[in-house]
Structure 1
Amino acid sequence: MSWNNLFLLANYWALAGWIALAFLPRNPKILAFILYAGVALLCLAYTIMIIGFLTGSIDAGGPGGGDFTTLAGVMKLFDTPGGATLGWTHYLAFDLFVGLWIARDADNKGFGRFVQVPFLFLTLMVGPVGLLAWLIVRERRARAQAKGK
């Protein structure tokens, strides 16, 4: 499978998880499906790729090399189709996990789906911005719930 096809597959897989999270009922089976079939499979794909890169058994599709200790090293890691796909899969997995947490937290705090969707969209598109926005909005209800216990 080409890096482009793997990149597209990861994107579509994550998007399916996001659509399920935003629009399907939030019963335990669906939430577990999103966690294991969505997040965990993206994590598995990432794990296979990173082990392959580190052992040299997977060709990154370019000169490769690089490391996580310097900006230049990280830029070199992402300067191949495989490295970019690896990094993107990392983002997709973590953003979907954060979106799942936001949805569960919002449900537990009594926020309706209509209110949640913008935060989920922000998290899908610009992960940390969506998470920060949610953390700000949830604060008042979180404190109120904590006092009520």
Structure 2
Amino acid sequence: MWEQIFGAANLLAMIAWVVLILGPRREIVMRALFFGPMLMLALGYVTGLTLVLTGAVPTGGGANFASIEGVRSIFSSDPGVTIGWVHYLVFDLFVGL
């Protein structure tokens, strides 16, 4: 399941980047990118992060944001890597916009 989420997020971000790079610089296009792919990715990130923080999604033992070991533990699992990657996709697309 996490592999499919990872792939879908990548595809969505790539489509958004192609439109951003090759599309017209009109306000309607920028708004469509912001309220379309970027919002979808951001909602996916917030949902995934909430699942990790509440313990609904299993990550490595000792997962927390208070220490480097805890963060390393989060990124040692497929859910943690996928959620972290979606975070980067959202942030980069936001900066690109």
Q: TM-score, normalised by structure 1?
A: 0.61
Residue number in structure 1 paired with 2:50: 51
1:71, distance to aligned residue in structure 2 (A): 1.4
Tell me the number of residue pairs that the alignment of Structure 1 and Structure 2 aligns.
97
Residue 75 of structure 2 is aligned with which of 75, 78, 89? 78
1:56, distance to aligned residue in structure 2 (A): 2.5
Structure 2 alignment gaps of length 5 or more: none
Residue number in structure 1 paired with 2:90: 93
Residue number in structure 1 paired with 2:24: 25
Deviations 1:17-36 (A, max 9, x none): 10000001111111001111
Give the Cα–Cα distance (whole angstroms) in 2 for the partners of residues 67 and 28 of structure 1: 40
Structure 1 alignment gaps of length 5 or more: 101-149
* 1:54 maps to amino acid: L
Give the Cα–Cα distance (whole angstroms) in 2 for the partners of residues 42 and 64 of structure 1: 27
Q: 1:70 to 1:7 in 2, by over 3 A?
A: same
How large is the RMSD of aligned CA atoms in angstroms? 1.3
**Does 1:67 find its partner at 2:67?**
no
Which 4+ residue blocks in structure 1 deviate beyond 3 angstroms?
62-65
Query: Bigger radius of gyration, 1 or 2?
Result: 1
Q: TM-score, normalised by structure 2?
A: 0.92
Q: Percent of aligned positions with the same letter in both sequences?
A: 36
